Amino acid sequence: MILEIIRAVVGFLLVLFIPGFAATYALFPKNDELDEIERIALSIGLSIALVVLTIAALNMATGMLITATNSLLVILLMTLALSVIAYIRRT
């Protein structure tokens, strides 16, 4: 039961928040460009857009299957790439 709850929370965060949060730092690396609440709201909007559009595009263009493993890989790779961009832009 606890594991299921943890998976659900992590799942929601992976689709609805984390990639977008990395994207906000990649796009607007300085803290003074967005305040905390603006960054959180934008993270949710961007996260949905990035995850959905990337997975839909990969499915249509390459035939990649929409499965939990593939989705997880895409989300993690996207977050990693955005985090690297954010790091480079911040430094």
Partner 1 sequence: MEINKKIVLIFSVLVLAAFSFYTTYTIHSSYHLPYHSDEWDHLTMAVEIVKKGSIVNYNPYLSDEYKKDLEVSYHVLLSELILMTGLDPVQFSIIFPAIVSFILSLNAFMLVRFITKSSFAGLLSGMLVTTMKSNVTLLGPWFMVPSAYGMSQLPLMLFVFVKAMGAANSVVAKKPLVRNSLMSMNITPAKTSEKISLINLWDVVLGLLFIQITLAHPPSASILLPVFALYLLMHPRLLYRNRFRILIFCVIAFLLLVNFISFAKLANIKSPLSFMDWLLNDTLVFTDEQYTYHVLYFYPIYLGSAILFLAVLGFYRNMSSDDKSRIIPIALLALLPFVVQYFEFGKSFFAEYRRLFMYNSELIMILAGMGLYLLYAIGKGIIGVYVKNDFLRKIITAGMLVLIAVALKNQADSTFFYSNRLYMIIGENEVGTIQWLGSNTSENSTVLAYPHVSKAITPLSGRRVLALTQTNLGSGKDEIDKANIFFQNDCNVKAGILNELKPDYVFFKGAINCPFLEEVYESKGSRIYKVNP
Q: How far is the CB of 80 from partner 1 (least distance, A)?
A: 17
Q: And the tokens for 80?
A: 């990693």
Per-residue x/- marks for partner 1, 23-62, CB under 8 A?
----xx-------xxx-xxx-xxx-xxxxxx-xx--xx--
**Quick one: which of 28, 34, 23, 41 has its CA closest to 80?**
23
Among 31, 72, 77, 87, binds partner 1 (CB under 8 A): 72
Using an 8 Å Cβ cutoff, are 81 and 24 in contact?
Answer: no
Among 1, 2, 61, 68, binds partner 1 (CB under 8 A): 68
